Structure 1
Amino acid sequence: MAEPGGAIYDRLAPVPERQWDRAAGLDALLDGAREPFVVRGLVADWPLVAAGRESASAARRYLVERARDRPFMVSIGPPGHDGRLYYDADMAMNFRTGTGKLADIFAGIEQGEEQGDPRTVYLGSIDIPSHFDGLHEANAVELGGRETLKSIWIGTRTRIAAHNDFPDNLACCAAGRRRFTLFSPDQFGNLYLGPIDNTPAGRAISMVDFEAPDLAAHPRFADAMAAAQTALLEPGDAIFIPSMWWHHVEGLDAFNILVNYWWRGTPAWLGQPQDALNHAILAIRDLAPADKAIWRAMFDHYVFENGPAVTDHIPEPARSVLAPLTRESAGRLRAFLLRTLNR
């Protein structure tokens, strides 16, 4: 079967593949990992994978039987939608969102399949424990005690624009095939990112259409593709995407399921770096150049370098949030920020 854009992806470097010791688990591969890798067959023994191999209908039935009686958020494209969840000509989303019971959403997918006119239907980042009973327990990866967010992604053929996430990510292909195109964090300038406050799913995305890149409008994208890595996952395969790596994701078959695990290497009670970026845009970006230079030096002093000169002259009990943060001092700082932002 010919793949969309296949010739382009054939020229890219493959994401390295790693072997794992089932007895030792994934710790040896994940501990300190800062580069992506693929593990073939990691979840090949999942019941969900077995259902997907039987048929798309069997996979849907497996999920419906375990779904809780609650609304599921779903994105739906209009007739003729090409599966690219993106902006329209007015920079609004080119899909609509709504909620429905999972069985009803799946019935719509099946009707489109029967009529030969499938709509783009996409359920993104559905929290597994709150939406399903027993799904995680029957289909799980041992991640060495890491506290994870467990999500499932379900849909028809889709193209999700390149974006990044702060947590580390282990993504497991459960049904259908998924193609990932990855870029290291330093490639963001070559991906032509869109707005950070008007996004399809909360993260800034590349404005480049990977299937038909306009290199006249986006010339640096050629440099990004020269540095890109790609992986085609079959059901049962998994890919590790480190924090802040950009990834373009395609569901290549008529029906696709992905399960992923997110975790961060710092305590959950610390803040989100994206919030700091947003606040810096609000408070610093539009200052006069001389004032911005002062604040750049202050950020270097307190945040990026954070050397002994920050605290050595302050008695240790009085260092407050300049000392390494604890859950308690982080909570005080968060409360202080909320008060100042609400003035």
Structure 2
Amino acid sequence: MFDRLASVRVLEGCSPDALPLAKLLEDGLPTVLKGLARDWSLVRAGLESPQAAMDHLRAHYDGRPVTYSWGEPATAGRPFYNAGFTALNCEVRRGGLDQVLDGLASYLDDPRPPTFYVASLLVDTCLPGLRAGNDLDFAAQGVDAPPAIWIGNRVTASCHYDAPNNIACCAVGRRRFTVFPPEQIGNLYPGPLEPTPGGQAVSVVDFSAPDFERYPRFRQALETAQTVVLEPGDAIFIPSMWWHHVQGQDPFTVLVNYWWTSMPAWVPTPMHALYHALWTIRDRPEREKQAWREVFEYYVFGPADRAGAHLPEPARNILGPFDETMARRMRALLIGKLNR
């Protein structure tokens, strides 16, 4: 299937201390940053051997317990759902990272290993000092993007989107990324909003064996898909809200990623608004829903200054620009209304 898909565009000549963030954000397209992390010490260790990479991680581990997913061999490296989509197919465990690495090491040659998956572990929390030789210089551009690390075997992160922008660096082992633009959401058949394998709704389509009879619109999604296999040291930029399916290709894999947003910290995630809209709008009569669509278009999705443009500035209140003070007022207003 993947051989027939378009390839993700490639940008050569990038370096950790000269990230092309402005261009990436302006273009808004998935982009491979070839060799961006090739000089990382973790990448070099992984090219030597999986054990050398594990030893490199152990040398920086501070002993704090970590949360990870564990699944029977039948999960085939795919943290997902049971048949009825009511529970996850993996256990959430807590233990030492060194124990996880021991488990991964003991199954390197096993064709059907259990699934081990440490997801989105903040590097500075459990691996202090690792950034010294394995980092991208976001700070030079005034961006706060603390790195997270993902450690496992041939794990598949089912297709999902993230609200922030993302640069993901393939540090150990290879990973295949398949990406889809945001408008393909309906053709990707998202699963439950809760529970989820990794915090976001995921496509319920099995990319390794798509059931086109059950999920026929997935063919349309594939027409827009782009794919790439990242080698150790390569990175990929995934714009905000783009869907991406990620497959580990080797018995031991490590990825380091950086999420960041152009919005200040006091602007919350739009997911809160989505949950509220599901509760307050979705089940209304169709005529009312269409009227509310026009209201949202006027106040939210149209030009930011349109709704208050005809009012004197002191009268605009929440129709004017938000700042941290206004954000606190809005939070208090919403809490007050929801508690009535």
Bin of the TM-score, shorter chain as denominator length: over 0.9
1:97 corresponds to which of 92, 116, 126: 92
Residues 132 and 24 of structure 1, relative CA distance in 2, 3 Å threshold: closer
Residues 231 and 116 of structure 1, relative CA distance in 2, 3 Å threshold: closer
- 1:17 aligned onto 2:14: no
Matches within 5 A, 1:203-282: 203-282=200-279
Q: Is the 8 A contact 2:6 2:227 kept in 1?
A: yes
User: Residue 24 of structure 1: CA displacement?
Assistant: 4.4
Matches within 5 A, 1:72-83: 72-83=66-77
1:45 corresponds to which of 31, 39, 44: 39
**Percent of residue pairs identical:** 45
| Letter of the 2:3 counterpart | D
User: Residue 231 of structure 1: CA displacement?
Assistant: 0.6
| 1:87-146 Cα shifts (integer Å, max 9, x gaps) | 111321110001101111111222233677521100011111112111123211123221
Q: Is the 8 A contact 2:34 2:235 kept in 1?
A: yes
Q: Which residue of 2 aligns with 1:36?
A: 30
| Letter of the 2:13 counterpart | W
| TM-score, normalising length: structure 1 | 0.93
- In structure 2, how many angstroms separate the alpha carbons of the residues matched to 1:120 and 1:307? 46
Residues 153 and 190 of structure 1, relative CA distance in 2, 3 Å threshold: same
* SS of structure 2 residue aligned to 1:17: strand
Q: Is the 8 A contact 2:117 2:150 kept in 1?
A: yes
User: Residue 221 of structure 1: CA displacement?
Assistant: 0.6
- 1:111 aligned onto 2:106: yes
User: Residue 185 of structure 1: CA displacement?
Assistant: 0.8
* SS of structure 2 residue aligned to 1:52: helix
- In structure 2, how many angstroms separate the alpha carbons of the residues matched to 1:174 and 1:282? 42
- In structure 2, how many angstroms separate the alpha carbons of the residues matched to 1:81 and 1:19? 37
- In structure 2, how many angstroms separate the alpha carbons of the residues matched to 1:294 and 1:28? 38
Q: Return 114-123 or 62-71, whichever deviates more.
A: 114-123
1:297 corresponds to which of 294, 298, 312: 294
Residues 316 and 63 of structure 1, relative CA distance in 2, 3 Å threshold: same
Residues 267 and 54 of structure 1, relative CA distance in 2, 3 Å threshold: same
Q: Which residue of 2 aligns with 1:183?
A: 180
| 1:288-323 Cα shifts (integer Å, max 9, x gaps) | 223223322221121112466522343312322110
Moved over 6 A (4+): none
| Letter of the 1:252 counterpart | Q
5+ residue gaps, structure 1, are 1-7
Q: Return 327-336 or 240-249, whichever deviates more.
A: 327-336
- In structure 1, how many angstroms separate the alpha carbons of the residues matched to 2:44 and 2:219? 39
2:82 corresponds to which of 75, 88, 111: 88
Q: Is the 8 A contact 1:122 1:154 kept in 2?
A: yes
Residues 312 and 41 of structure 1, relative CA distance in 2, 3 Å threshold: closer
Q: Is the 8 A contact 1:16 1:38 kept in 2?
A: yes
Q: Is the 8 A contact 1:301 1:307 kept in 2?
A: no
| 1:172-210 Cα shifts (integer Å, max 9, x gaps) | 000000000000111111111111122111111111000
Q: Is the 8 A contact 1:33 1:242 kept in 2?
A: no
- In structure 2, how many angstroms separate the alpha carbons of the residues matched to 1:24 and 1:152? 21
| Letter of the 1:70 counterpart | R
| Letter of the 2:237 counterpart | F
- In structure 1, how many angstroms separate the alpha carbons of the residues matched to 2:161 and 2:211? 22
5+ residue gaps, structure 2, are none
2:311 corresponds to which of 309, 314, 321: 314
Q: Which residue of 1 aligns with 2:322?
A: 325
| TM-score, normalising length: structure 2 | 0.94
- In structure 1, how many angstroms separate the alpha carbons of the residues matched to 2:22 and 2:297? 34
* SS of structure 2 residue aligned to 1:149: coil
| Letter of the 2:265 counterpart | A
- In structure 1, how many angstroms separate the alpha carbons of the residues matched to 2:111 and 2:213? 36
- In structure 1, how many angstroms separate the alpha carbons of the residues matched to 2:120 and 2:14? 29
Q: Return 159-168 or 100-109, whichever deviates more.
A: 100-109
User: Residue 51 of structure 1: CA displacement?
Assistant: 1.0
| 1:200-235 Cα shifts (integer Å, max 9, x gaps) | 111111110001001111111111111100010000
2:135 corresponds to which of 137, 140, 161: 140
Q: Which residue of 2 aligns with 1:3?
A: none
2:115 corresponds to which of 105, 112, 120: 120
